[in-house]
Structures are given as structure tokens and as C-alpha cells.
Amino acid sequence: MKKKNFEKIGITLKPNSTPDFYHILPTLCSWLLRRNKQVIFKAEDKERVLKFFKNKTTSSLTFWETADFHNKIDLMLSLGGDGTLIGVCRRIKSTIPVLGINLGRLGFITEFNKNEYFERLESILNGKYITTTKPLFHVSVERKGKIIFKDFFFNDAVVAKNDIARMISLRAELGHEHIYNISGDGIIISSPLGSTAYSMAAGGPIVHPEVRALILTPICPHSLINRPFVVPDQSSIILKILPPHHSLTLTLDGQVALSVDEQDIIKINSSKVKKVVLITNPEKSYFETIRDKFILAKRD
């Protein structure tokens, strides 16, 4: 991707407001405006954003509708945690770089914390930065031969039961090959970046983000032989609901949910067109993050 100077800067905020916003947003926006950058928020966040500025002027801020906000900016700043960044990645145009700024505890994909991002922002705005490009994964639901739903996920897609004391059964296929039938609470289909989230908590492996794969992790399987599988992402994973039929939900990244039933076929594959460009922190490595998160138990 050709690097460029950034003029239109979008800022996405975590859904739940944090006291940090009262200091960070006025300081950040003033800093950007002094450098003649256009500072843009989503129109739906306008009322909330203005509260963080108190008596300070906000006339120079710009508010765009969602479609323009995700497609016509030059650079996106995501202020929140991994969940905020994941939501951005699912919606933003594939050529727009995203800078993740973590306001909470140690994140996996938010490369910069709130105490360090200013040190590099000047260079980033002038086109001096390193990126990594990650694919998103496409999900479609077919019912009676028609596609009734399609969307993308960055971390994981989960098919799980709704009823408390019920077990569900699913058939998992890779391309045209039967992998196994699963009886239990459901299944997680995870990307390598998402392997350290719900999948790992359910007993799945940690997979390096440069591996081209998908991870199938059963949730509380009834049979001990239903183990996690790591499969290549070049083929589609197909999930079919087996009897006895119960109420199920398909969830993408914990942010989008759809009720599915026995007639539905769920298809998951790596997207050939939808990708995300993440600005990386040259002083932070994947294995350093793993050590800090799981071994040393450090927190911001």
C-alpha cells in the first residue's frame, strides 16, 4: 500500500464512555487541528462527543454519517480496547489504515497504549509507519436455497445453544469433506488473531497470526474425541444443524447476533476482498504480548 500524508482523521470511540475521554479527546483533537487535520466523528456520536469538551470550542470538529465515516477518511484512530478495534475492522474500507489505541488493560490487537501513541503520531501522520494486512472472514447463512444473511468477522464466529439444559448437534465440513459431528454447547470458528480469545478459553490452541488458518473449537463437547482442529483457510467451513433441533444463535465477534434454525446452512471462508490494514507498533512483538498477557500477568 502506498503511504501518504493523512488529512482526514476519523476517531472511533468505545461504546461505553470512560473518564479518559475527558482528557484524551480535547488534547488529541486540539493537537490534530493545530496541524491542519480534519477531525471527524460519527454523526451518531455527536451528542456524546461534545460532552467531553465541556466549555472548550468544538466548532472545528466534523461529524459524518456512518457510510462516509467508514469509507472516505484517510486514517482511523480507534480509542478503546480490542472490541472497539474489531468493530472498526469489520466496517471500514480495506485501504484505510487503522491505529488502535488501548485505553484499558493490555490488548492483543490494539498496538499502542494511551501513554505512548502521541510519541509516534507525528511520524504516522507524515506517512512514516509500518502496517500489517489481515483478512476478514466471510459468513453467510443459507435457508431453503436463499442467502438470508451475510457479514464478516475478525476474531470469531460462534454457533451456540440458547436453552440452558439442552445439547445441540452440528455437522462440520471442510469443503466437501466431513470433519465430524459435534454434540454439546456449540462451536467456535476462530481466526488466528482470535485464537487467544473465546477459542482459547474453550480449550483451543494459540495460533500465530501469520498462519493462514481457521480454528474449530467445540464448546463443552459431549464426546472427548471432538477436539479442536486447525484447518487451512483456503476452503470453506460448512456447519449444518442436526436433530434434535433447538434454538441456536450465530454470533460474530460478540457484536452481531442472528437466530438460526434447522433449515440453515452456515458457510465460513476467508474473504478475498475484505481486509484490514493495521498500523503496528515496532516496539511491540506478538510473543512479547503473549508473555505479558499470560505468563507475567502484567496489566496497564
20 is annotated as an active-site residue: no
Catalytic residue among 45, 68, 74, 82: 82
End-to-end CA distance of the chain: 32
Q: To 10 degrees, the CA torsion angle through 291, 293, 295, 298?
A: 110
The three state secondary structure string of the chain is CCCCCCCEEEEEECCCCCCHHHHHHHHHHHHHHHCCCEEEEEHHHHHHHHHCCCCCCCCCCEEECHHHHHHCCCEEEEEECHHHHHHHHHHCCCCCEEEEEECCCCCCCCCEECCCHHHHHHHHHCCCCCEEEEEEEEEEEEECCEEEEEEEECCEEEEEECCCCCCEEEEEEECCEEEEEEEECEEEEECCHHHHCHHHHCCCCCCCCCCCEEEEEEECCCCCCCCCEEEECCCCEEEEEECCCCCEEEEECCCEEEEECCCEEEEEEEEEEEEEEEECCCCCCHHHHHHHHHHCCCCC
Query: Which residues on neighbouring strands pair with residue 276, listed in sequence order?
Result: 134
Grid coordinates representing 1 are 500500500
Which residues are designated catalytic? 82
